[in-house]
Amino acid sequence: MRITLVGSRHFGVMTLDMLRQRGVDVVRVVVADGDDRLATAARAAGIEVTVQADPKRVVASEIGSDTDLIVTAHSHARITKEALAAAKLGGIGYHPSLLPRHRGIAAVEWTIREGDPIAGGSIYHLAERMDAGAIAAQEWVFVRKGETARELWERALAPLGQKLLGEAIDYAKAHKSLPAKAQDEEFATRAPKL
């Protein structure tokens, strides 16, 4: 399994470590900022790093050659159709909500703001519309009373993301495909930056 990882920050580094522990070949790491901690970790591991020409988009030429799957981990860039087509299985990402609820950049914050008693994580297929692709895996967690968005992320949602991404990678390795259940648009909500 050859993976191009697109991401940033601590969650990107956690994902890089998880992928390497699972024995997949991370052929390239794509970042918006060459000084990001994910870029530093990838270089230290001897993995090729590409800095996006446009921080809002990842294009086909930025995807590693012979990539089986693109994985995003804390990336806010749109993966273009051409970039997705450059990978045999397309791409997946982790979103810290029970999609289609709380689509957008501030999903965890909106979970707290709306007083949701449960939260969750979704592995979804990257698609034309942000956070709207088919679901490959999903799981929920309880939200503790008085918990902040950061506390919920650190306690439950970041570890859940690693677990679900790992399970999706294992499935892709075994089956050369990923599950895909369409999101129900009737229940879609937005989570714009607060």
Report the CATH number that the domain containing residue 67 is assigned in CATH: 3.40.50.170
Q: Where are the beta strands (DSSP E) in the chain?
A: 2-7, 25-31, 49-51, 57-58, 69-73, 78-79, 91-95, 118-125, 135-142
Q: What percent of the chain has pLDDT over 70?
A: 100
Predicted TM-score of the model (pTM): 0.96
Confirm if 97 and 107 have CB atoms less than 8 A apart. yes
Q: What percent of the chain has pLDDT over 90?
A: 97
pLDDT digits (tens, 9 = 90+) for 152-181: 999 999 999 999 999 999 999 999 999 999
State whether 15 and 97 are in the same domain: no
- How many independent structural domains does the chain possess? 2
pLDDT at residue number 128:
86
State whether 104 and 76 are in the same domain: no
143, pLDDT greater than 90: yes
Task: Give the domain-ending residue among 88, 119, 146.
Answer: 88
The range of the structural domain enclosing residue 47 comes to: 1-88
Task: Give the domain-ending residue among 88, 107, 138.
Answer: 88
Instruction: Measure the CA–CA gap between 123 and 98, rounded to whole angstroms.
Output: 10
State whether 156 and 174 are in the same domain: yes
State whether 187 and 120 are in the same domain: yes
Q: Which residues pair with 140 in a beta bridge?
A: 120
State whether 190 and 142 are in the same domain: yes
Stretch 63-70: mean pLDDT = 98
Q: Which two tokens stand for residue 73?
A: 């981990």
